[in-house]
Amino acid sequence: MKRNYENALKLLETRRRKARPTTPAATFQQQTGAPPSNTPTVRGVPSLNGMKEWLQMLGHTESDLNNLNIIHVAGTKGKGSTCAFARSLLRSHGLRTGFPGRVGLYTSPDLQCIRERIQIDDRPITEEIFARYFFEVWDRIITQNPSNGKEGARLPRYLQLLAILAFHTFIRENVEAAIFETHHGGEYDATNVVQNPVVTGVTSLGMDHVAQLGPTLEDIAWHKAGILKTGVPAFSLEQEAVAARMLRNRAAEKRTHLEFVAVNTSLPDNSKVLGVTVQKLNCSLAVELVRKFVQVKAPGHELNAEDISRAVDSFSWGGRFQIIEKGLCRWFLDGAHNTLSLEQAAAWFSENTGALNYRRCRVLIFSHFSEERDGRVLVECLAHALSARGAKPEHVIFTTYNERDDGTSRLDKTLKVPEKPFPDLCSVYAAVWSRLDPEAIVSSKPTIEAAIRLAEQIAAESGGAQCFVTGSLHLVGGALNLLTS
């Protein structure tokens, strides 16, 4: 097998499990701590299990991880944006002072290519670097593992392998600061192998991933607070009372100070980047994380107003509150995929399309498939949110994650999205929307390309259209690829 990018992705795909386990983790009853409801929501083997040993197989010690100077971020919504703001702030400070030099960012999921998950200095790592370090990891942990092939052998799964690859890459590339976003939870997340981060942060919490994190907001807060570490400064956005109480309790349990963050009223006036309230919140949290990082790691330095202004001006995070002007269409793209994020995205779309000087036909393109969420609930949430804000779309198009009409797609796209029964889901979603808004013209298209083409036809017939693409980062990633190619 050639040790190239394509084959690296094929091997990575073999580590994806077919379905989430339904049996509670065998170790659950033996855990020293458990979520308040004591509901065994951790299924199968917790993702954290094995991470330390696999990193040791690569020759990486706890000291190597500590030297990455990690900012660790958990939460339900806004994790990716907060991490991206922190990255931009660190880079801005580094350009002015020389520290940090190279900045690593590990986040998920990706929009257009898997390498977006592992970035250094504002850019995804190259295909050559991805392949080189992937095969170093694969050879040492999979191929040369003496337990490989034996019954009950523990080998890293898809997300565990990606997290290992990120740690390995950042260590090999000598980054001086690294930002890690958790996958889902916190306590048992693969990224929680980090024992001595510089600072930790928790973004807004809400009900999502309940099958893994628990039936209540209190349970979810317990899991997310698992990234807090003894003596390590911690920050959180302001939360609902029950979640805030749990975060405080866990901070006390872990013997660390937790500070809650409100909107920073001194942020620069940048309507393009900070025109959405939630992004002001995410940026405010990132500012506190990086301010503390600089205080701890670079005594005598400070994150100043110039650093913050430059960071906000250069901030970029595709697929989140993104607007693209193309032809007769103004495209609004946001990868919201839970009720909390969809409500925010609906408010953003409404605020940006209600101006008297920009009255055009509204078109919605939506797609969502997940074993963890009921897509019908998301459709209902979005319909109600848009209606309440006076932004009901005249045309609604449901589609799939399949990108092009001819069946071709990007290599990463081919591998990362399994086939699902989308035509049936599209019909279900269409029925739900038609019931909630009988006046809307509702249709379904088998590909993202066909959905975009229909939206463009509607725009041509109507003299312009405001097109809202949301429901999934897979959908938004495909749309971005088509709109920007």
Per the annotation, binding residues for Mg(2+) are 108, 181, 209
Measured CA to CA in angstroms, residue 324 lies from 242, 328, 329, 352, 358 at distances of 39, 11, 8, 12, 15
| DSSP annotation string for 68-102 | T-EEEEE-SBSHHHHHHHHHHHHHHHHHHHS-S-S
212 vs 49, 215, 216, 240, 439, CA distance in Å? Answer: 15, 9, 11, 21, 39
Candidates 223, 114, 221, 205; CA nearest to 158 is: 114
Annotated binding site for ATP: 320, 334
Closest CA to 72 of 203, 182, 175: 182
Does residue 479 contact residue 338 with C-beta atoms inside 8 Å? no
Judged by phi (left if over 0) then psi (alpha if -120 to 50, else beta), residue 371 lies in alpha
Tokens encoding 57: 């197989």
Is the separation of the CB atoms in 73 and 82 below 8 Å? yes
Alpha carbon distance 305, 330 (integer Å): 33
Nearest CA-CA partner of 476 in 334, 379, 344, 338: 334
- Measured CA to CA, the distance from residue 175 to residue 169 in angstroms comes to 9
DSSP state of 25: P
| Alpha carbons 446 and 82: distance in angstroms, whole number | 34
Which residues make up each annotated binding site? 108, 181, 209, 320, 334
The CA angle 482-483-485, to the nearest 5 degrees, is 65
Strand-pairing partners, residue 105, are: 119, 179
Rounded distance between C-alpha atoms, residue 393 and residue 329, angstroms: 14
Question: Given the structure tokens 């099958």, which residue do they identify?
Answer: 211
